[in-house]
Chains A and B, each alone.
Chain A
Amino acid sequence: MDEMAATARSQVVVVPAARPSSPPRASIPVSSSSAASAPPQQTATAKLPFSAAVPASTSASGSFSVPIPIASDGLGPEPSTLTEPVWDTVKRDLARIVSNLKLVVFPNPFRDDPGKALRDWDLWGPFFFIVLLGLILSWSATAKKSQVFAVAFAVLAAGAIVLTLNVLLLGGHIIFFQSLSLLGYCLFPLDVGALICMLKDSVILKMVVVTVTLAWSSWAAYPLMSAAVNPKRKALALYPVFLMYISVACLIIAIV
């Protein structure tokens, strides 16, 4: 509906796009026509799914323009995230990463309720933290840099998956991606520790910093993991988590 209004407006003024238009999506094929034939196209676009309307209007106007979705005049549903500016998407994802981080890694009143923490899980945060750690380790290594990155990435990524499967196999109740997300976010303290170790080269400092951040990571991962399984099997579920973080901590001490 707002496409109609937008298309009507786009006839008058060509709005420069916030980003280049995406290639036409594989949906109902629309015969693109010139702007002059916009009125019959308006009715056509009104019936088409949202994604098809976008390339139709862009190809119709002949230049890189994206109709700005306007919902405030009540002309239809909220704009989807496909047409928003990239900065909005990035800002939203960053905000989510920060809020998940605050929930998981820092003390907060919801810690004892594993259902609340990371209800809005995402995998961008874990991805950034794992890659950052891999890059720090790889950059600091003196030999076999690419193998160091590969080992760090594989241990963390495969480790998170195996740990989640471990909890599931022990009869625990956990949501697969929520657990992956949690284990990735709990890597944040070790990332901070690795950065500090990279900046200052002293063995004592490394030991202290890595130990502190390892304890912090483990403390962050403890509630969700221990709540997921039967109390008699708590140690069985938690031990592999500690094993993974300890091995990463050893890697940091030895390499960075």
Chain B
Amino acid sequence: MDEGYANLPTSHLLGSVPAVTQDDRKPSPPAAQDAAATSRLQEFPPAPGGNGGGYRPPGGPADGDVENQADWKGYFNVASYAPYFNVDTDVVVDRLISSIYPMDGFYRKIDANPDMYGPLWITTTLVFMLAAFGNYATYLMQNKKDLDIWNFDVGYFSWAASVMYGYAVIVPAVFFFLFQYFGSRQSLVRFWCMWGYSLFVFIPASVLLLIPVEFLRWVIIALAGGASSWFIALNLKECTEGADLMVLMASASVLQFALALFIKVFFFA
């Protein structure tokens, strides 16, 4: 092993017990790294020089070769993502509840410790729920119309997975770049975290959408979409702290509502 890498975690091999390090190696694109370095203000032990920690030793040379090598190794090591899962059960439950309760303060909760556990499992749960309940809902509607042909449409799984994972990963990233373009420095991980938790309201909504009354379904999805958009708008406003980017916030809310409508139209037709 290279002697320069004094801070490396002790194992890079899958299958052995990884040492959980306090690295805050962020999987952000290398181009934005310097720009984003100043925004990582409240992450774990703030590294000397504000370079974001990582695998560089405190006094080591900061030449490009070392940086690229450290970058590359960091992405494939499970332990380097562990800081984003540093939450307990009660913390996660607290965040979930505050995501549907229309009050301020969610962003403040995640600011110090953004977690990726919530977004990952909320989107996964939503994929399964949309596929399962979407099928069940079409079954109930067809039952009402006395049709005999119904079979489980497995395509719902693929569609749900593509839509939900795509939305949860791509939309925050796009907004991150747009915010960067307009000069407001944000944190990609916090965006992912926030957008992920904003999807939580669709889980109880998809349960309620089983009710085979069409009008009620539209009311439910409108409420859910509205709550989610409001959550996004509120938190974007808080994290941009007054930078006048209403266009971006409005478009984020509209996108969230469009997602709600898509869910209704495609899965619960």
Contact = CB atoms under 8 A, between A and B. Distances in A.
Contacts of B157: 151, 155
Interface string A171-190: 10111110000000000000
B92 interface: yes
Interface stretch (B12-20, B24-32, B184-192, B215-223): B12-20
Interface in A120-174: 141-144, 147-148, 151, 155, 165-166, 168-171, 173-174
B14 A176 contact: yes
A142 B158 contact: no
A233 B88 contact: yes
A254 B88 CA distance: 35
A195 B201 CA distance: 36
B151 interface: yes
Nearest to B129: A247
A235 B117 CA distance: 12
Interface stretch (A25-33, A214-222, A236-244): A236-244
A250 interface: yes
Interface stretch (B78-86, B205-213, B228-236, B259-267): B78-86
Contacts, number: 76
Interface residues of A, number: 34
B239 interface: no
A96 interface: no
Contact of B154 (A144, A166, A235, A243): A144
Contacts of B135: 254
A232 interface: yes
A176 B15 contact: yes
B240 to A, nearest CB: 29
Q: What size tier do the contact residues of chain B reach?
A: 20 to 34
A170 B152 contact: no
A43 to B, nearest CB: 41
A234 interface: yes
Interface in B14-50: 14-18, 20
Nearest to B82: A169
Given A151-B158, A175-B17, A170 B85 contact: yes
Task: Determine chain B's interface SS by DSSP, over half rule.
Answer: helix
B155 interface: yes
Contacts of A255: 152
Contact of A169 (B85, B89, B158): B85
A171 B20 contact: yes
A250 B130 CA distance: 12
Contact of A232 (B82, B85, B90, B152): B90
B154 A147 contact: yes
A168 B152 contact: no
B77 to A, nearest CB: 11
Interface in A68-92: none
A29 to B, nearest CB: 33
Listed from nearest, the 8 A-B pairs whose CB atoms lie closest are A169-B85, A232-B88, A254-B152, A235-B89, A176-B15, A247-B128, A142-B151, A250-B132
20 contacts: A144-B153, A144-B154, A144-B155, A147-B154, A147-B158, A151-B157, A168-B18, A169-B85, A169-B117, A176-B14, A177-B15, A232-B88, A233-B87, A236-B87, A243-B124, A243-B128, A246-B128, A247-B128, A247-B132, A254-B136
